[in-house]
With several copies, the nearest count.
Chain A
Amino acid sequence: MAMVLSDEQKILRDTARTFLQTSAPIDQLRRLRDEASADGFDRKTWESVVEMGWTGVLVPEDHGGVGMGHVAAGVIAEEMGRTLMASPYLSTAVMGATAVVGYGSASQCNKWLPPLAAGSLNVAVAVDEGRSHSPASISTTAQPTERGFRISGSKFFVADGHVADLILVSARSAGGPNDTNGISLFLVPSAASGIEIQRQTMVDSRNSATVRLEGVEVDAETLLGEAGAGYSALEHVLDAGRACLAAEMSGSAQQCLAQTVDYITTRQQFGQPIGSFQALQHRAAHLFAEIEIGRSAVIRALQALDAASDDRSLIVSVAKSKVGWVAQLAAQEAIQMHGGIGMTDELNIGFFLKRVRVAEALYGDTNFHADKFARLRNY
């Protein structure tokens, strides 16, 4: 597949860029932070996003979506990364949709996809239980009951968990602590009895939540896919999230470089623009090269998701690891090249540094994916 955007995708990109820079510039995130917004995102902007169909980007048309695929979903994420728009897009439109579309029964699809595409259903993915990402290391249990399952356990770092209507929960119905077998996935309404959701504001001013499930009784209909065989579905959902996070970070990295180039072109020291100093030029040029290399990994990963490629996991790990590293370099270089002003909260770059750090950690940091890559290649 050619690694260029289709005409349709290019239109989407241009629309998204214009919309986000106008309606959700980075000052929106600053305002949400300073006002300690209860939602953590702007409902009005989100309504416009829904109207444009972005929540249905991965939902087939016969379920009310636009079914444009992962490359398109990544295009949106990349543009969101440029202005750091806060929203439940990743959890809902990318991961939630991938889960239901890919593994939902006909009745689950009918039940969940139309409201998801219509923006009336927010989804959150509850997977991690420890200090760092490790999707097979779970001790949340799902015990069979007469009408379905009883789920108990605690999930941390659940992005957008506090605004979710539906929570995708991974739980162990069999096997030991690190077994990939024995993991089941459930679509649990957040209003279910026994669920306690505690919001946590993150360093990037976005939200995540601790989700505690104490003997939550769910019926059999909540089970996504087959009992005990949910791990590969979970990996698929995570890979969709990882690829779009990489796309988002790629957008952030590009924005950091662009702002830095602007700044060093105008900032004068020693009687000339500091961007004329060769040391800064070479570092900016190196960063450009790294960003371009990262961009290729992102588009390849999104294409691998669309093509359901056998190499999907390996390619996604390349993208998440590489771009996670590149985006941090971009934010750090941006701060350093801005000098004194780079240290301040007033400059927007700090928001990028913080968001990139969280996005990099989410669903596996750059080391996690490097290690995963090596294991996939048997070393």
Chain B
Amino acid sequence: MRQPLREENDAVWGGRNPTFKSNEQKVWLERTVEKGWTAPEWPVKYGGGGLSKSEGKILREEMKALSARPPLMSFGVWMLGPALLKYGTEAQKQTHLPPITRGEIRWAQGYSEPNSGSDLASLMTRCELHGDHYLINGQKIWTSYGHKADWIFVLVRTDFEAAKHDGISLVLVDMAQPGVTTRPIKLLSGMSHFCETFFDDARCKVDNVVGDLNRGWTVAKYLLTHEREMIGGSAIGRAAMRPLSEIVTQQVGLNELGVLSDLVLRTDVVRTEIDSLAFLWTTERVADEAKAGQGVGAMSAMLKYSGTELNKRRYELMMYSAGHDALTLGHEANLARDWLRTKGNSIEGGTSEIQLNIIAKRILGLPSA
């Protein structure tokens, strides 16, 4: 397992029907679960490793130094867990956290709706009390791996009279029931891991509301911060990848003076490399500042914005350097597919425009219109 992941398909996601590409993957997950290292900084009683932030950082660095693969990819670990730890009841924590750390339950995120994209709080999925449980009706979209998930955390409207942000709740729904169906959405890269998820009298027990009823917006925002950090985290991974110039030089070659043969491309590559390094250091600095209790909370918006825009630039330049080869369908490196996929980076998880709005308002304090 000491090889970087090459594709998302190679990763272990767990769940009720887990798939492992090799026995090593299974063993690696079991060993890390024993140590609580699928969620190193969670309390031991919930299946975590009980490490402090500093210890967690050391573990991550050691793992990175070993080129160890992440044992488990999990929206439960990255997103729902932190929200449950902060806002969940003790019973919710005991019920939901340990299966997450063991990779037994795979979670999906039910946030966006067809008419509520950037304006998330305008969501209209209905959640109404019906005896001792809720009935949920509506549609979510951009549910990542919704067709493979076991449970879903869903933003729903529980008060239709209240102001936009005041009638929203976050509920936990088991997807293994007839009222929940999913349909994959084909992306322009030809791939599809996003789904539409439909709720048709889907049931949810009353004790599966996270935080106070009608106060889900607070929980939702907290969870979004972790989503941005997760995306920022994958940006770190990308930035630490093979230097762009190495890839480009191999493709394009050097001229008699020892500089890249395509002089115009060289300028774009060097600027992108400089920006990438400085961005990589920024992710480190923001993490160090957070650890030191300094820094600004909304910085995750800045990392999400700059990291995804930079990743798009990186792939554009890789496409230029690969030339005609990459434009052939079925080209073995699948570069074109990955390049097309990057176009969604600045849309999913909050568009670049939304991140800029957050920076403008929460960090710079600029006035609303």
Contacts and interface: CB of A to CB of B under 8 A. Distances in A.
Check A-B contact in the complex, CB < 8 A: yes
Interface of A: 2-4, 128, 130-133, 156-157, 200-204, 208, 257, 261, 264-265, 268-282, 284-286, 288-289, 292-297, 299-300, 315, 317-319, 321-322, 332, 335-336, 339-340, 342-347, 349-350, 353-354, 357-358, 361, 365, 367-368, 370-371, 373-375, 377-379
5 A-B pairs with least C-beta separation: A350-B188, A132-B323, A281-B360, A285-B359, A367-B264
A375 B266 CA distance: 11
A275 B366 contact: yes
B177 to A, nearest CB: 26
Given A201-B329, A357-B327, 17 more contacts: A3-B284, A130-B323, A202-B328, A203-B336, A257-B364, A272-B369, A282-B360, A284-B360, A299-B281, A336-B347, A340-B348, A342-B347, A343-B348, A345-B186, A361-B327, A371-B270, A379-B245
B95 interface: no
B275 A289 contact: no
A336 B346 contact: yes
B190 interface: yes
A343 B187 contact: yes
A133 B325 CA distance: 11
A318 B278 contact: yes
B288 A4 contact: yes
A296 B282 contact: yes
Best-surrounded residue of B243, B251, B343 (most CB of chain A within 10 A): B343
A374 B270 contact: yes
B343 to A, nearest CB: 5
Given A288-B359, A367-B265, A339 B351 contact: yes
Best-surrounded residue of A257, A271, A285, A288 (most CB of chain B within 10 A): A285
Contacts of B327: 157, 202-204, 357-358, 361
Interface stretch (B17-25, B96-104, B252-260): B252-260
B292 A2 contact: yes
A269 B357 CA distance: 14
27 contacts: A3-B284, A3-B288, A4-B289, A131-B322, A132-B324, A200-B328, A201-B328, A203-B326, A265-B365, A265-B366, A269-B116, A269-B119, A270-B118, A274-B118, A288-B363, A289-B359, A293-B282, A296-B279, A299-B285, A315-B277, A322-B278, A344-B187, A347-B188, A365-B320, A365-B323, A367-B262, A370-B270
Nearest to B271: A370
A365 B194 CA distance: 33
Contacts of A319: 278
B294 interface: yes
A80 to B, nearest CB: 19
A7 to B, nearest CB: 10
Contacts of A343: 187-188, 194, 343-344, 347-348
Contact of A339 (B117, B323, B325, B355): B117
A278 B268 CA distance: 29
A269 B367 CA distance: 13
Given A270-B119, A296-B285, A361-B323, A340 B347 contact: yes
Contacts of B279: 293, 296
A289 B302 contact: yes
B141 interface: yes
A344 B356 contact: no
Best-surrounded residue of A130, A353, A379 (most CB of chain B within 10 A): A379
B274 interface: yes
A245 B207 CA distance: 59
B131 to A, nearest CB: 35
Nearest to A267: B117
Nearest to A264: B366
B42 interface: no
Given A282-B360, A371-B263, A297 B277 contact: yes
A377 B278 contact: no
Interface string B270-301: 11011101110110110011011010000100
B51 interface: no
A370 B360 contact: no
A200 B365 CA distance: 42
A277 B369 contact: yes
A292 B302 contact: yes
Best-surrounded residue of B288, B312, B340, B346 (most CB of chain A within 10 A): B340
A119 B193 CA distance: 44
B173 to A, nearest CB: 22
A371 B188 contact: no
B367 A265 contact: yes
Contact of B368 (A276, A282, A300, A347): A276
A344 B185 contact: yes
A279 B302 CA distance: 17
Nearest to B358: A285
B269 interface: yes
B190 A157 contact: no
B368 to A, nearest CB: 6
B92 interface: no
B275 A4 contact: no
A296 B254 contact: no
Contact of B249 (A204, A370, A379): A379
A154 to B, nearest CB: 13
Contacts of B258: 375, 378
A300 B274 CA distance: 13
B240 to A, nearest CB: 15
Best-surrounded residue of B116, B294, B360 (most CB of chain A within 10 A): B360
A11 B35 CA distance: 41
Given A131-B325, A282-B356, A353-B343, A375 B118 contact: no
A293 B357 contact: no
Contacts of A375: 258-259
B112 interface: yes
A347 B187 CA distance: 9
Contacts of B185: 344, 346
Contact of B118 (A282, A339, A349): A339
A92 to B, nearest CB: 21
B353 interface: yes
B213 interface: no
B248 interface: yes
Contacts of A275: 366-367
A379 B356 contact: no
A252 to B, nearest CB: 15
